[in-house]
Each structure stands twice: as structure tokens, then as C-alpha cells.
Amino acid sequence: MAGSIRVICPNLKCRAILSAPDHARGRMVRCRMCGMKVKIPSTAKVKTESSSQVQAEGDGK
């Protein structure tokens, strides 16, 4: 889906995958399965390697 963000409900008994529109970033939404309030992240989290890991790999030549 273009223009949407997916998050997992933090309720350990639910763990439903929630899909929210982009304009909901930074807001609280309610899980339709269990009713728990979930905060939609305001920015996308990107997993990157830290510079120390890259340096450690480069030193092992």
C-alpha cells in the first residue's frame, strides 16, 4: 500500500499488524482488534550500521 505505515500492536496478547495512513504519523490510534492505543511513529526508522562496526570489519584484513 502506497502512502501507509504498518506497526504492530504492542499488546502481547494481540500483536495485530495495523496499517495507518501517512497523515497519522505522530498520532495515537486505537487497535481495532483489542482497543489498545498505539502511537504511530513520526518518522520512519532506518536500520544502519554504526561507523564502529564498519571500522571493525575493515581492520580484519
User: What is the pLDDT averaged over residues 40-51?
Assistant: 66
Close Cβ partners of 27 (under 8 Å, ≥ 6 residues apart): 39, 40
pLDDT at residue 43 in the model = 78
- 14 near 34, Cβ under 8 Å? yes
Residue-wise pLDDT tens digits, 1-41: 458 899 999 999 999 999 999 999 999 999 999 999 999 98
> Using 50, 70 and 90 to split pLDDT, how confident is the model at 60?
low
Residues ≥6 apart with Cβ < 8 Å to 49? none
Rounded average pLDDT over 43-52: 57
> CA–CA separation, 15 vs 34, rounded Å?
9
The model carries a pTM of 0.59
pLDDT of residue 3: 82
